[in-house]
Structure 1
Amino acid sequence: MKLRLAIYAELLRATARLATTATTSAASHPNDAGQIGGDEFDSLLGQARVVASEDVYRRLNELSQLTEMFNQHLEEAEPRPVFPHRQHLHDGAVNGPLRLQHRKTLTDIAGGIAVAHGRVQDAIRHEMNR
């Protein structure tokens, strides 16, 4: 039980950080945004697989899928390098319709990540109160 509580505490810190970072990255300029999740989160998911209840683990998987989706859309929203002689064709591309759509999608996914964090929190709270 102590191990489960310790892992759950780490998971809650990591998922809260993930939700905050996703929201910040979605609102950032494409050059300033960075991918979320990473090795630390993957390691915590592996530990949770061993000790978490089925409901908590299912909620964590939902969050993990949203994180992957966010990172995929983040790559699509990033500006591509442009040859200097073609720069005039790409001026303003950061605010072009396609980029704006990607940023909106990132914002929507970031909102989903925040909701998923809340669901993980609720699942852990429900399990601990049984």
Structure 2
Amino acid sequence: MIKNNLFLEFEKPINVNTIDNTKKSKNSTIISRINNSIDEVINEIVLDLINTNSFLLGSKNIPEIVKACEKFFHDSCFGTFEYVQKTGMSIFKVEHTAGINGTLFLKKFFEKIFEVVLSGFSFYVISNENHVCVMFR
């Protein structure tokens, strides 16, 4: 008898209509907060990195930026950097193993480089978990 009373609550069917759907909006708020936090942290790291490495800001043209980026990627062991120049277009390619957060970091890094140093160029970024490609002219 006692056993039956203990398990009586578990044997009752669940009424699907009583499930609260407000959890979806709470989850999207949580995801939004996480994404915003990651964005803020990556932005802080990029700003700190660019401000503390004067060779990045001191570069005035593409060859100097290429040398600065090669130095940065070599010194940080973050990934491999490649510069390709084609007719009418230049390309920065980075291969890394830091996953999606590494890709987010690199996108912000190059956005800031183009905002601060190479502001006269238009650029486009394509990426996946392990690669970032910045095409510009």
Greater Rg, structure 1 or structure 2?
A: 2
Does the TM-score normalized on the shorter chain lie above 0.5? no
Task: Tell me which protein shows more helix as a share of its residues.
Answer: 1
State TM-score, norm by structure 1.
0.28
TM-score calculated relative to the size of structure 2: 0.27
Higher strand share: 2
Give the structure, 1 or 2, with the largest relative contact order (CA under 8 Å, sep 6 or more): 1
